[in-house]
Structure 1
Amino acid sequence: MQVRDRLIQAAERQFAARGTLETTLADIRDEVGVSVGALYHHFSDKAQLYSAVWEHALADYQAAFWAAIRDSETAEEGVRSGVRAHLDWVSREPARAKILVAPRPAAARSSSNTEFLRDTMRWWRTHAAYGAVRPLEFPLVYALWLGPAQEYARQWLSGQFDSAPATVAVTLGEAAWQSLKTAQQEGNSR
């Protein structure tokens, strides 16, 4: 594994365990066992390293989420699968999840984010076009689809909830589907 990757993984662990402000570059460098020069060869400062960690976590999350919805046969399957993928990922990757629920770094510019949002909204609009889901703009889609799952994950990551997020996926997936389906879909399920 390359030094840069090892630094990102160590920083991820340190930031998740101790917080971004409390973690020092010396902590990360010591964990990896590299010189000051080696660290600064890859990252000019802690902010740049934090951005790299955040972007790495975001890309991993997005890949898991997109894989869950892209091949779904119905809008309902995709909505439920998206919630399940979100909660499964948080349960499996709590350190990375802690990074993503922390404030977004100012310098973060994830090229994968643009593609992910475009693809997800294209998927959404396809299902909205034939009346399976409500034709909403991204902020509302996000809030209704993943808002409750995101809040549950935040509470679990902070130690407020005992049950891992994956254990509530069915319930939160149902809630998401109920809030996003159209009246036409309501009639089809009766």
Structure 2
Amino acid sequence: MQIHDRLLLAAERQFAEHGALDAKLTQIRDAAGASVGALYHHFPDKAGLYRQVWANALADYQQHFWAVIGGNTSAREGIIAGVREHLRWVGDNRYRAMVLSSARPPGLRENESNRRFMTDVARWWRTHAGYGAVRDLPLDLVYALWLGPAQEYTRQWLVGEMRGTPTEVASELAEAAWLVLATDPTRTIDTPTETEREVRD
């Protein structure tokens, strides 16, 4: 593993365990087995290092989340898969999840990767809202209803307040998300027509 990547992994753990303010560059450097010169060559200041660690964690989460819903033509299966993937990812990536639960560095909401992710998710949602499978709501509200309970559960789990692992509660939280977001949870049509899929693409 290259020194750049070792520094990022060491920093990820330090930021997760101690926070951006209390994490020490000396501890990061020592954990990565890097020299002072190597550290400052790759990351001249702690703020830049924190920003890169946060951006990497966000990109990894978004990549995995989109992988399970992006090609999913079923509204119900996509919503359920999204909740399950959120919970799985947090359980498997504790340090990265802890980083994402801390303060977002300025400017990351506006970067190209995040804009593309948000655009893709919004398009996926609008397609299913367009034929009435899910409620036609602003994306911020969709996020709160879709992943809010899972987000709160994992936040509590990360600080040791929940005994059950995220995956142990996945079925309940995923089904709850579908029930609250579906226009009619009992309806049998939850996939777009060919025309609607073409509009989405």
Q: In structure 2, how many angstroms separate the alpha carbons of the residues matched to 1:141 and 1:115?
A: 17
Deviations 1:104-142 (A, max 9, x none): 112535432111111111100011111101111111010
Q: Which moved more, 1:84-93 or 1:19-28?
A: 19-28
**Counterpart of 2:46?**
46
**Match for 2:99: what amino acid?**
I
TM-superposed CA distance for 1:188, in Å, is: 4.5
**Match for 2:75: what amino acid?**
A
Gaps of 5+ in 1: none
TM-superposed CA distance for 1:2, in Å, is: 1.9
TM-superposed CA distance for 1:187, in Å, is: 4.8
8 Å CA contact 1:48, 1:107 repeated in 2: no
TM-superposed CA distance for 1:170, in Å, is: 0.7
CA distance 1:107–1:119, change in 2 (3 Å): closer
Report 1:135-146 matches (<5 A): 135-146=136-147
Gaps of 5+ in 2: 190-201
| Matched length | 188
1:80 aligns with 2:80: yes
1:178 aligns with 2:174: no
8 Å CA contact 1:83, 1:146 repeated in 2: yes
TM-superposed CA distance for 1:164, in Å, is: 0.9
**Counterpart of 1:120?**
121
What TM-score results when the alignment is normalised by the length of structure 2? 0.89
**Match for 1:172: what amino acid?**
L
What TM-score results when the alignment is normalised by the length of structure 1? 0.94
Q: Which moved more, 1:152-161 or 1:66-75?
A: 66-75
Q: In structure 2, how many angstroms separate the alpha carbons of the residues matched to 1:179 and 1:48?
A: 40
**Match for 1:129: what amino acid?**
G
8 Å CA contact 1:16, 1:99 repeated in 2: yes
TM-superposed CA distance for 1:186, in Å, is: 3.9
Q: In structure 1, how many angstroms separate the alpha carbons of the residues matched to 2:140 and 2:9?
A: 31
CA distance 1:104–1:118, change in 2 (3 Å): same
Deviations 1:13-56 (A, max 9, x none): 11112222221111101111212221111112111100100010
Q: In structure 1, how many angstroms separate the alpha carbons of the residues matched to 2:123 and 2:73?
A: 15
Q: In structure 1, how many angstroms separate the alpha carbons of the residues matched to 2:19 and 2:167?
A: 24
Percent identity reads 56
